């Protein structure tokens, strides 16, 4: 018995040694990745505009807000397929795994919220990819139940922030029709309907790899 | 008679002594774990780092890697190697590669926390299961299978997983055609939020790992392999879950190409 427990203790200690606890994160100033210097952000945005004349920051930010609504609906319905059209392939697969794991323990999110502010807090562009970190300030109520008991958050109105990271290839440019964040295929322009394998239902183009247009690449919430 | 009483007294004494020693050992372990908990989760970085050094020194080879928390831009030096890879394999796309890496991170978290390794088995090399972390995951899942095997109808696995995400993924090393393999290392922090059981407080953890992905040297990205296999190649039946490792209709094993790259090993990164 002891011999079986000792290796587990070793594993626990190694995990512990490499772990930053959420409590620690909550007490530190770094609840979310710190914002970059505004001058750096402005320079990166200028770089994006220089190669993509159609880039419209307001429309992009608004599209992220729309994507958030889609993902929220999918999360509350426990149906990952509803979020297929906005998340990158990998993020969507992990999102699906997560919803399955949550469903197995009857986890439900109760949320009614609205975005009250949005700001680009980081922007990067290199020869391979472009990435924007958009910080959304949200107001509303959110909490999660498992087997009917609260396990995260609590009822009542609150204000919080979330980072939505979008990414695309450095060669991609904004489609004339607005693209994925506007709910349209960046390749054929049809209303975006994505097959389960990640291709557009009409033109079969791979649209959620980030090669042609912005995709939601990461969703980061401060501990709550 | 007296002799028998003396022997009985000695036996009882030994039993009492063993009982007390067992209690003392149990209390010592509990006290030790308590100290570990307080030290490792305390706010003093100096004490935490001392703890980390001690644990790193005693860890089995191949499970830990001591290193600094990766500062932003640390991976800039690998850009020439990525460009070289792209020159040889025009279909290679860093964004798609990192997206696949994220699937491995999610699959590892599912195996470790929810005790379900079906997806992880499809995205790893056989060698992964010979590494300390691979063996540990296999042991966790085997424990659950033994538990479930003796309790027919058990459905829930592991802990309640509320969230899995990652932060700051960064390619830190690219090694091409070494020992017949191309190898890319990604360093990132994975964040998990779990509830161990009903009535327990949730646990938030951010753990830094190095993830090493390999494919045979000289292999090129097949554009078709980027498509996610959502239906069985044999009978056309749909997969209902990413965790399905075989077709539910014809039972053919499910392939997962991951565009050729597979997780070969991962290391916990302990701050040096």
Q: Which tens digit of pLDDT belongs to each residue from A170-204?
A: 889 999 888 999 889 999 999 988 887 778 899 98
Tell me which H or E stretch contains B10: helix B2-40
Using the structure block, give the residue that is written with the tokens 């067992």. B22
pLDDT value at A107 more than 50: yes
**Residue B165 backbone phi and psi in degrees, to 5:** -150, 175
pLDDT of amino acid A157: 94
The CATH code belonging to domain B61-220+257-271 is 3.10.450.50
> Residue A5: pLDDT above 80?
no
What is the per-residue pLDDT for B42? 61
Whether residue A27 is predicted with pLDDT greater than 60 in this model: the reply is: no
B164: nearest CA partner in chain A? A98
Nearest to B68 by CA among A27, A18, A23, A24: A18
Specify the pLDDT at position A120. 96
Determine whether the interchain pair B106/A98 forms a contact, defined as Cβ–Cβ distance below 8 Å. yes
| Residue A107 · residue A151 · CB < 8 Å | yes
Q: Mean pLDDT, chain A, as a whole number?
A: 86
Structure pTM?
0.82
| Chain B residues within an 8 Å CB radius of A144 | 162
A209 closest CB neighbour out of B93, B107, B270: B93
Alpha-carbon distances, residue B181 vs A15, A152, B78, B90, B215 (angstroms):
29, 44, 17, 18, 6
DSSP code, position A198: S
What ipTM does the predicted assembly reach? Answer: 0.84
Q: What does pLDDT average to over chain B?
A: 81
Q: How far is B6 from chain A (nearest CA, A)?
A: 33
Tell me: the pLDDT tens digits for B236-269? 888 877 777 788 888 888 776 666 899 999 988 8
Q: What structural domains and CATH numbers belong to chain A?
A: 32-221 (3.10.450.240)
pLDDT at A72: 93
Segment A10-38 mean pLDDT: 61
Smallest CA–CA distance from A26 into chain B, residue: B204
Query: Closest Cα partner for A219 from A98, A55, A125?
Result: A98
3-state secondary structure of A202: coil
Say what the pLDDT of residue A29 is.
39
CB contact under 8 A, B228 and A93: yes
Task: Please state the rounded mean pLDDT for residues B25-52.
Answer: 74
Q: Is B152 helix (H, G, I), strand (E, B) or coil?
A: coil
Instruction: Estimate the crossing angle of helix B2-40 against helix B45-57, to 10 degrees.
Output: 120
Exposure class string for A143-153: b at 16+ Cβ within 10 A, else e: bbebeeeebbb
């Amino acid at each position: 018995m002891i011999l079986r427990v000792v290796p587990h203790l070793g594993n626990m200690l190694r995990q512990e040694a490499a772990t930053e606890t959420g409590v620690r994160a909550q007490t530190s100033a770094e609840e979310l990745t710190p914002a970059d210097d505004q001058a750096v952000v402005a320079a990166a945005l200028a770089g994006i505009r220089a190669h993509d004349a159609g880039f419209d920051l307001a429309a992009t930010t608004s599209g992220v807000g729309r994507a958030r609504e889609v993902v929220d609906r999918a999360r509350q319905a426990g149906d990952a397929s509803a979020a297929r059209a906005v998340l990158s392939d990998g993020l969507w697969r992990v999102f699906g795994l997560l919803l399955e794991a949550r469903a197995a323990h009857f986890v439900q999110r109760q949320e009614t919220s609205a975005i009250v502010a949005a700001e680009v807090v980081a922007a990067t562009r290199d020869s391979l990819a472009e990435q924007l970190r958009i910080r959304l300030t949200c107001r509303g109520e959110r909490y999660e139940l498992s087997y009917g008991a609260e396990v995260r958050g609590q009822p009542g109105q609150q204000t919080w922030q979330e980072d939505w990271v979008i990414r695309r290839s450095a060669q991609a440019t904004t489609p004339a029709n607005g693209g994925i964040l506007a709910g349209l295929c960046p390749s054929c322009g049809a209303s975006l309907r994505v097959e389960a394998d990640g291709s557009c239902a009409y033109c079969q183009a791979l649209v959620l790899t980030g090669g042609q247009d912005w995709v939601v690449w990461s969703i980061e919430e401060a501990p709550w | 008679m007296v002799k028998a009483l003396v022997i009985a007294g000695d036996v009882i004494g030994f039993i009492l002594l063993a009982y007390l020693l067992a209690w003392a050992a149990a209390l010592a372990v509990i006290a030790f774990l308590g100290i570990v908990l307080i030290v490792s989760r305390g706010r003093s970085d100096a004490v935490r780092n001392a703890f980390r050094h001690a644990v790193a020194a005693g860890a089995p080879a191949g499970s830990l890697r001591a290193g600094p928390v990766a500062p932003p831009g640390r991976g800039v030096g690998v850009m020439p190697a990525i460009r070289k890879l792209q020159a040889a394999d025009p279909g290679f796309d860093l964004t798609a590669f990192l997206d696949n890496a994220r699937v491995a991170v999610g699959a590892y978290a599912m195996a470790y926390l929810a005790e379900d390794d079906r997806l992880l088995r499809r995205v790893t090399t056989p060698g992964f299961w010979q590494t300390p972390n691979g063996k540990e995951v296999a042991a966790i899942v085997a424990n659950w299978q033994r538990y479930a095997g003796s309790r027919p109808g058990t459905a829930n696995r592991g802990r309640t997983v509320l969230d899995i995400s990652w932060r700051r993924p960064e390619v830190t090393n690219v090694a091409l055609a070494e020992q017949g393999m191309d190898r890319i290392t990604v360093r990132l922090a994975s964040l998990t939020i779990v509830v161990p059981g009903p009535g327990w407080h949730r646990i938030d953890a951010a753990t830094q790992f190095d993830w090493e992905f390999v494919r045979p040297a000289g292999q090129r990205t097949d554009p078709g392999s980027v498509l996610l296999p959502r239906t069985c190649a044999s009978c056309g039946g749909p997969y209902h879950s990413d965790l399905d490792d075989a077709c539910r209709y014809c039972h053919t094993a499910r392939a997962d190409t991951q565009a050729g790259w597979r997780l070969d090993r991962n290391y916990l990164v302990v701050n040096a």
